Amino acid sequence: MSYKLLFVCLGNICRSPAAENIMRYKIEQVGLSEPIVCDSAGTSSYHIGSPPDSRMSAAALQKLQIKLRGKARQFQKSDFENFDLILAMDRDNYEDILHLDPTGKYHQKVHLICDFCSRHNLKEVPDPYYGGAEGFNLVIDLLVDACEGLLKYLSR
């Protein structure tokens, strides 16, 4: 049996694919490749089919020596059924996800990814899209922290 994680941001080209790929990298580092499956999605349809943003990819390559893989897709209601944990990058996306579950049946599956951080105090992963390189680097640092915390949480 595998455990399935879905990382969600707005467009699925910066933060969520970075989180998906960083988590996969962290899982491989500890040898848990089999039981945990990672995917990502966006709450909007802006970038469906697009690869990760080149600036996000450059930051991941520079800081972690990992290549970001994947193509943007939009969050679907079926994701509630298909994933064990849904990790939103910020409060707006968290609210947008919960809005698609009016009965609240899946609310316990949805969390803010920064809730798993241990070294950073930020409660949300800021969208780096309209900023410079430092924004992308901050996102990588935050997501490494969050993914390490998430891995500890899942190991319990």
Indicate the pLDDT class of residue 63, thresholds 50, 70 and 90: very high
Convert the pLDDT of each residue in 15-50 to its tens digit: 999 999 999 999 999 887 668 999 999 999 999 999
* pLDDT at 34 (0 to 100): 66
More confident residue, 1 or 77: 77
* pLDDT at 2 (0 to 100): 84
* pLDDT at 150 (0 to 100): 97
* pLDDT at 32 (0 to 100): 74
**pLDDT > 70: what percent of the chain?**
98
Is residue 86 within 8 A of residue 109, CB to CB? The reply is yes
**pLDDT > 90: what percent of the chain?**
94
φ and ψ of 78, to 5 deg: -65, -20
What's the angle, vertex CA 84, arms to CA 152 and CA 54, rounded to 5? 75
The average confidence (pLDDT) of the chain is 96
Q: Please give the average per-residue pLDDT across 45-65, as a whole number.
A: 97
24 a catalytic residue: no
Catalytic residue among 39, 79, 127, 145: 127
pTM, whole model, 2 decimals? 0.97
Rounded CA-CA distance 95/81 in Å is 18
141 a catalytic residue: no
Catalytic residue among 9, 14, 114, 117: 9
Indicate the pLDDT class of residue 129, thresholds 50, 70 and 90: very high
Is residue 140 within 8 A of residue 18, CB to CB? The reply is yes
Catalytic residue among 14, 15, 53, 117: 15
* pLDDT at 33 (0 to 100): 60
Q: What is the CA radius of gyration of the chain?
A: 14
127 a catalytic residue: yes
Convert the pLDDT of each residue in 79-101 to its tens digit: 999 999 999 999 999 999 999 99
